[in-house]
Amino acid sequence: MLEVIQDNWDLLRHGFVGTLKLTVVCGIVSLLLGTLIAACRVSPVPPLRWFGTAYVNLFRNTPLTLIFFAVALGFPKLRFNLSYFEFAVIALSTYTAAFICEAIRSGINTVPIGQAEAARSLGMSFTQSLSQIVLPQAGRAAVPPIGSLLIAMVRNSAIASAFNVTELMGTSAEMVENGYKSLWVLLWIAVGYLIITLSMSAALAALEKKLAVVR
Amino acid sequence: MSREASVLFDVPGPKARRRNLIIGVVGSLGLAAFLVFVIVRFNDTGQFESAKWDPFQYSGVQQFIFDGLKATLKAFALAAVFSILLGAFLAAGRLSDHRIVRWASTTFVTFFRAMPLLVLIFMLYLVPGSQGWWKWDPMWPLVVGLTIYNGTVQAENIRAGILAVPKGQSEAAYALGMRKTQVMTMILVPQGIRTMLPTIISQIVVTLKDTSLGFLITYPELLAAAKLIGGYQDYNMPFIPVTIIVGTIYVAMCMILSAFATWLERRLRTSRKGKPPAVVPPTQAELSRDNVAIV
């Protein structure tokens, strides 16, 4: 069982780094996109709100495999030629962004309207009330769900292996072809994912503890 | 809603309304431009040619998509039922009084929730064959994988629902002399089911979406049918049309289930504070009866 790691150390490391790269890039892109769509969803402008709602409803109800399928196999047919890594980033980020948007929106919804009213009646300007009263509270409420979404995104990134992206799960095919027992290959790959997801959970728990306030 | 205040903005005055109108128009134009760009690109690459859409009138192709849909729904139905059963079992284990049972179910739940579902499905698909243990149809690795993963999530949903029932309920039941099983089945589950049902159904939507992973282990479900039809030379390789059709089927199924979950959540929430029972004030005769103890 150990020779799987010893013999394929470079391949596994390559895959592990690929997954980390995918995680970081998709994490950033989906956070930005999710925030943008959340801003649309809660904005006072009706067309933007409709767009946000439609986006969230569409992408939350689409299987991620289907998005990967449409992006990685469909885009080249529409003459959008990008690398497979970029396709994976598009697929994973558009999907995750829909969930992040909802996490941010429900975070904002946890702030009672009285908070904003009180801030305004204390003479705070609109920007002050938003940046010092509303968003800090909303952000605190949104951090735990966003954290679990990002962890789920790492697990979902395994799907990219089926669409020619160099990442952890994708290394399994090569090792199995080279005659290594699939049991040990997949167990070690699972360990690789567990390292990423469990350390993210630990970081999230620490962050939550830091943000917690005694009420 | 634009006329109401929220925590994020005040009621818009005339100036803000004008600004919002401008943003709305510009935003709509931007979206429309994007849509036009997509349609032009579809047209340029010949996605609207009738040759690419004709095959979907053939009963053979329709039957093929229908068979894929049936395979998807079969795996989904099995996985949904089994995952709720497993979830109930694991939730009972996590709420058990015995430390070993509690510990074992917590470990199971933590481990399988942290592992990518795809790795689990591939393990179930590849390992029994390569180790020479047993051979099975690719549907079973998919169903078992979905059951294990979604079962752990459902366990958490069920547990959360049961823990959401006020503590006084179980205390009162124990005080009445009920056993633990009775408290669970007669008091906690019937009340907890209100809180847990919407989340259970939302997780069933996830189960439905994840059946598409079967495509990666050669289970002939909807997406696999789409890939096969899309690559068919005789039909002009209608990849984009078939993706649109199959995508619509998936999205429609999931949206119906999600809408059901939302509806149920709203309904259960409003009925919690239903009308209080009508109180009939006691009549003078009843009050003055001798056996009424007036404290």
Domains recognised in chain B with CATH numbers: 50-270 (1.10.3720.10)
Q: How big is chain B, counted in residues? A: 295
**Chain A CB contacts of B230 below 8 Å:** 73
Closest CB from A70, A169, A189 relative to B243 = A70
Q: Which residues of A35-47 are buried (b: 16+ CB within 10 A; e: fewer)?
A: eebbebbbbbbeb
Cα separations (Å) of A106 from A35, A38, A39, A41, B198?
Answer: 12, 10, 12, 11, 17
pLDDT-derived band at B2 (thresholds 50, 70, 90) equals very low
- The mean pLDDT of chain A is 88
Smallest CA–CA distance from B111 into chain A, residue: A194
Q: What is the mean pLDDT of residues B250-256?
A: 93
CB pair distance less than 8 Å for B24 and A77: no
Cα separation, A193 vs A87, whole angstroms: 21
CB pair distance less than 8 Å for B258 and A60: yes
Give the architecture-level CATH label for domain A3-211. Answer: Orthogonal Bundle (1.10)
CB A105 within 8 A of CB A141: no
Is 50 exceeded by the pLDDT of residue B1?
no
Sign of CA dihedral B82, B85, B87, B90: negative
Is 90 exceeded by the pLDDT of residue A95?
yes
Is 70 exceeded by the pLDDT of residue B291?
no
Q: Which stretch of DSSP H or E encloses residue B284? A: helix B284-287
Best residue in A35, A40, A60 to probe B by mutation, most B CBs within 10 Å? A60
CA proximity to B118, closest of B204, B219, B250, B214: B214
How far off is chain B from A94, nearest CA to CA, in Å? Answer: 15
Q: Is A98 on the interface with B (CB under 8 A)?
A: no
Q: Give the start-to-end residue ranges of the domains of chain A.
A: 3-211
CB B62 within 8 A of CB A98: no
Is 70 exceeded by the pLDDT of residue B47?
yes
Can you give the pLDDT at residue B4?
62
Q: Is A183 on the interface with B (CB under 8 A)?
A: yes
Can you give the pLDDT at residue B273?
54
A12-30 residue pLDDT tens: 888 899 999 999 999 999 9
Residue B273 CB neighbours (<10 A): 7
Task: Please state the separation of Cα B47 from the chain's center in Å.
Answer: 33
Is 90 exceeded by the pLDDT of residue B29?
yes
What ipTM was estimated for this complex?
0.86
Q: Which long-range contacts (CB under 8 A, 24 or more apart) does B101-107 make?
A: B105/B155
Is 90 exceeded by the pLDDT of residue B26?
yes
Q: Which of residues 16-55 of A touch B (CB under 8 A)?
A: 40, 42-49, 51
Q: What is the mean pLDDT of residues A68-84?
A: 88
B133-162 residue pLDDT tens: 888 888 899 999 999 999 999 999 999 999
**Chain A CB contacts of B132 below 8 Å:** none
Cα separation, A102 vs B140, whole angstroms: 34
Sign of CA dihedral B73, B79, B85, B91: negative
Token pair belonging to B125: 């698909």
